[in-house]
Amino acid sequence: MFKYKLPDACPEIMKRKHREGEYNTRYYRITKNNPPDKDDFLPQWFLDFFKKRREKCKKDVYKRCKMAGLSLLKNKGEAIRLMIKFPALGNFLFSGIISHHHGLLFETPGTEPSHHTFYAYSEVDEVQIFQKREK
């Protein structure tokens, strides 16, 4: 059902802790590539170089579930602020409309008030969703 094999108890733990995000709404994603490619939408948990850290946080169910989701922002200003503060995240900003058909979306506003965590369904191509260049 989901594009990536999620860790155990995920996304159930997110359902317990967070409200679902608003669908049919525009979200922003910082990318390294222009146009974006699939690597720009790979959640941290699944990055090759994260393998060692994946093994370390096996017990922290919530943390690993959050890492297995993709960070999206609902507020463009917040995305730009992050790009300035952390240039290594990427130099480009793309946006797209997320609908129910694309995956599960949760409001996760721990720090950035508009931060969301997204779990894409299989067959969903994020590159096709995030086509509008914003910066």
Partner 1 sequence: MFEQEFILINNRVLPCFVIEYYDGPKELVCLGENILLLWRKYEKDSEVWLKADVKNKKILYDYLKNRIGILTLLQNSSLFLCRHSYEKESYFEVIRKVKYQEIEKEFPENITLGYNFLKKLLEKHYKEIKSFSIFSSQKTISSVSTFLLDKLERKIYLQKTLASNPPKIDSDGYTYLLAA
By CB under 8 A, tell whether 134 contacts partner 1: no
* CB-count burial class (<10 Å; 0-12, 13-18, 19+) for 107: middle
Q: Is 13 in the site for partner 1 (CB under 8 A)?
A: no
- Please state the closest distance from residue 110 (CB atom) to partner 1, in A: 6
Of 76, 78, 107, 134, the one binding partner 1 (CB under 8 A) is 78
- Whether 28 contacts 93, CB under 8 Å: yes
Residue range at the interface with partner 1 (CB under 8 A); choices 19-27, 77-85, 95-103, 123-131: 77-85
Which one of the spans 2-10, 43-51, 96-104, 122-130 is the region binding partner 1 (CB under 8 A)? 43-51
Select 19 or 100, whichever has its Cβ closest to partner 1.
19
The total number of residues written for the chain in this structure: 135
Q: Is 70 in the site for partner 1 (CB under 8 A)?
A: yes
DSSP single-letter state for residue 61? H
Q: Which two tokens stand for residue 114?
A: 């508009």
Give the closest residue to 108 by CA, choosing from 116, 99, 100.
116
Neighbours of 114 (CB within 10 A): 18
Residues that bind partner 1 (CB under 8 A): 30, 43-44, 49-53, 56-57, 59-60, 63, 67, 70-71, 73, 78, 81-82, 84-89, 108-113, 115
